Amino acid sequence: MQLAIIDLNPQQLCSFVQRTTHSFRVFYIRQAHSYRRLQVTKDVFNVLLHECQVFPQFRDFLPDFKFKTKEKEVAPPRIKFRPGNDPIDRFIGRGFETAYILRFMELTNRTPSRPWSLRQFAVYHKSTPNVSDYCSTWILVGGSKRTEGCVDKHAESLNESPQTSPFELHVMLLDIVIASWRPYLLHLLERVEISSTKAVLAAVGGTKGTLRDVYEINEKDFQKLKGIEDQTCDALLCLESTLDTVNVLADMYNQCYRPSHKAGASRRSAAKGPCIGDAIFFSLLEKEKDVAYARKKAETLLAKIRNTRSLISTLLECRNGYNLHQQISALQSLQRQGQEENAIMRQLAEKGSRDSASVRILTIITLIYLPCTVVSSFYSTQFVARKDLASGGTHMEYAQNSWLFFAVSIPLTFVTIAIWWGWANYAPWVTRLQRKEKIKEKDSELA
C-alpha cells in the first residue's frame, strides 16, 4: 500500500474515494492551531462524509473545532460506536463504525505560568473486515504531528502484516494520549508542592529576622491554587472521558472480535476465557488501568490542593487576626497618649483661664487708674500740698482745687470702661443682629 496526498478538491476527492473503496485510507483535516477553524470547506467536508458513508453522529464531534479564544467545553461528547449488521466471523470478526474525541496535554511553553496546553483530536473509523468487501476508513480531525506520524507508521506497517487488527491503531492513539497526562500531573504536583511548603513553613507573626519569615504567604498563593485546582478538575473530566472511551472500545472489541466469548459476560471474565492470548484485548484492559490510575493520581492531587488551600485560608485568617490585634494595640497606645495629651491640654487651658482672669483684672485696674493719670498729667497741677509745721514736721493736705481731679477722673473712668466693654462685645452683638435679620427675611419669604 502506498500513501497518497491529494488536494482538497471535491472532484479529486470523489475519484480518490472510489479508487480506494477496498483499501486502508486516512483523511487528515488539520488546523493551523487549536484555536483556529478547520482547514476544510463545507462543500469538501460534505462530499467526504457522503462518499465515505459516514454516520451522521460524527458531526456532533466537530462543533468544538472552531475559532475560539479559550476552552469552553472541556469534556468532549461520549464515544459513538455502531456494530455492523454482518454476522461475526470467528477469524475476521464483525464490521463496526465509531467516532470519539481524545483530549491530551502538550508542552508548548507559551507562558511561564502555564507551559502546558490542552489539545484534542477527533477520530472516525469505519471497518469492513470481509475479504470480498474489505475497507478501513479513517478520518482524523485536528491531529498533532505526532498523532499523524503514528497513523502513517501504522499504514506503512500494513504492507508487512496485512492481517493487523482494526483496533490496533486505536490502542496506539490511546497510548499517545494517556502518556501525556503523567508529566502534566507531575508539573501540577510540583506547583502545589511549592505552595504547600510555603504554607507549612510560613508563620503568622513575630518571626522577624528568622528563616520562617522568608516563607510568606499572601492572597496570590490562594489564587494560584484556585487556578491549579481548576486545571486539575479539567484533567479529571478529560481522564473520565478517556476512560469511558477505553471501556466502550474494550466492550465493542469483546463483542465484535471475540466470538468464543458470550456476549452477556463481563470483560473481567472475558480476560479469563479461552482467548487469553488476545494482545489487543489485553492492551485495552491495560489502557483502562492506566487511565484509572492517572485519574486516581488526579483525585489525590485535587485533595492535596484543597487541603493546602484550606491551610492557606486559615493562615491568612490568623494573619489578619494578628494584624488586627496589632492595630488594636497601636490604637490603645494612641488612645493612652491622647488621654495624656488631653490631661496636659486641660492643665494648660486651666492655667490659660487663670492667666486670662488675671489679665482681665489687671486691665480693669488699668482702666480705673488710666483716667486719673491722664487727668493729673493733663492739668499738671498738684492736688495735694505739703506744709511744714513749726515743730519741724510736715502735714499733707488737699489743695483747694482738688475737687477738679475727682470731677474729671470719675466720669472719664466710666466712659473708658464703657468704650472697652462695647468694643469687646461689638462682634457678638453684630452677629446676633445679622442672624435676626436673616430669620426675618425667611419668615417674610414663607409668608
Confidence of residue 233 (pLDDT cuts 50, 70, 90): very high
Confidence of residue 213 (pLDDT cuts 50, 70, 90): low
Rounded to an integer, what distance in angstroms lies between the CA atom of residue 185 and that of residue 183?
A: 6
In this predicted structure, the answer to whether residue 283 has a pLDDT above a threshold of 60 is yes
Write down the pLDDT at residue 223: 86
Rounded to an integer, what distance in angstroms lies between the CA atom of residue 285 and that of residue 267?
A: 9
Q: Residue holding cell 476527492?
A: 13
pLDDT in tens, 89-132: 554 567 889 999 999 999 888 888 789 988 899 999 998 877 66
In this predicted structure, the answer to whether residue 384 has a pLDDT above a threshold of 70 is no
Rounded to an integer, what distance in angstroms lies between the CA atom of residue 293 and that of residue 239?
A: 10
Give Dmax (Cα) for the chain.
Answer: 178
Q: Which three cell numbers stand for residue 432?
A: 446676633
Q: Residue holding cell 488737699?
A: 398
Q: Residue holding cell 492736688?
A: 383
Write down the pLDDT at residue 361: 78
Q: Which three cell numbers stand for residue 205?
A: 507573626
Query: Residue 209: which region, alpha, beta or left (left: phi > 0; alpha: psi -120 to 50)?
Result: left
Write down the pLDDT at residue 34: 72
Helix, strand or coil, per DSSP, at residue 257: coil
Rounded to an integer, what distance in angstroms lies between the CA atom of residue 419 and that of residue 371?
A: 13
Write down the pLDDT at residue 23: 84
Q: Nearest-5° angle of CA 272, CA 277, CA 282?
A: 70
Q: What is the mean pLDDT of residues 155-177?
A: 82
In this predicted structure, the answer to whether residue 87 has a pLDDT above a threshold of 50 is yes
In this predicted structure, the answer to whether residue 298 has a pLDDT above a threshold of 80 is yes
Q: Of all residues in the chain, what percent carry a pLDDT higher than 70?
A: 82
Rounded to an integer, what distance in angstroms lies between the CA atom of residue 383 and that of residue 446?
A: 67
CB 287 within 8 A of CB 174: yes
Rounded to an integer, what distance in angstroms lies between the CA atom of residue 214 and that of residue 210?
A: 7
> Closest Cα to residue 137, out of 153, 123, 121?
123
Rounded to an integer, what distance in angstroms lies between the CA atom of residue 127 and that of residue 427?
A: 109
Radius of gyration of the chain (CA): 51
pLDDT in tens, 5-28: 556 677 788 888 888 888 888 999
CATH of domain 1-165: 3.30.460
In this predicted structure, the answer to whether residue 32 has a pLDDT above a threshold of 50 is yes
Lowest pLDDT segment from 81-90, 296-305, 318-327: 81-90
In this predicted structure, the answer to whether residue 46 has a pLDDT above a threshold of 60 is yes
Write down the pLDDT at residue 413: 80
Confidence of residue 263 (pLDDT cuts 50, 70, 90): very low
Write down the pLDDT at residue 131: 62
> Closest Cα to residue 76, out of 59, 97, 61, 66?
61
For 131-147, b/e burial (b = at least 16 CB within 10 A) is eeebbbbbbbbbbbeeb
Q: What is the mean pLDDT of residues 229-237?
A: 93
Q: What is the mean pLDDT of residues 203-221?
A: 63
Confidence of residue 275 (pLDDT cuts 50, 70, 90): very low
Write down the pLDDT at residue 4: 55
Query: What are the residue boundaries of the structural domains of the chain, listed by start?
Result: 1-165, 167-340, 381-446
For 373-396, b/e burial (b = at least 16 CB within 10 A) is eebeeeeeeebeeeeeeeeeeeee
pLDDT in tens, 403-443: 777 777 788 788 877 877 777 777 677 777 778 888 888 77
